[in-house]
Amino acid sequence: MKKLGSLLSSKVSVYLMAVFYVLAGINHFVNPQFYYPLIPDYLPYHHSINISSGLIEIILGVGVFSTKMRSLCAGVLILMLIAFIPSHIYFIQLGSCVVDGLCVHPFIGWARLIVIHPLFIYWAYQVGKSEV
């Protein structure tokens, strides 16, 4: 686990995370119809949630580039990832398939929630500790 931690806090990992979140944030504006069905029905203002999520991802992705801002931005990314958990659960409740949108095998939906999402949180934690 120590090797994984050092790999995830490397300079390459920091830059990959920054670029990943900037591009993901931009995608909220380029392809908003992808995100709307993934936002649980019980949440209001889907458009505002999508726009704010995209802006936050862009801002935090850019912030990760800065060694002075990295720890704060990675911490907020962790909070954001935690806030996205209901969306993953909602997607599983939909059978891991939305009409005219993302459809994957239910195993993938569960793997995203139980394996991939925690790895993203751990990645942000490691990047937040990075001083490279």
Q: What's the domain range around 45?
A: 2-129
pLDDT tens per residue, range 21-70: 999 999 999 999 999 999 999 999 999 999 999 999 999 999 999 999 99
**CA 26/CA 116 separation, integer angstroms:** 21
Closest by alpha carbon to 119, among 17, 15, 11?
Answer: 17
pLDDT tens per residue, range 41-50: 999 999 999 9
Report pLDDT for 2: 66
Say whether pTM exceeds 0.85: yes
Which H helix or E strand runs over 88?
helix 85-93
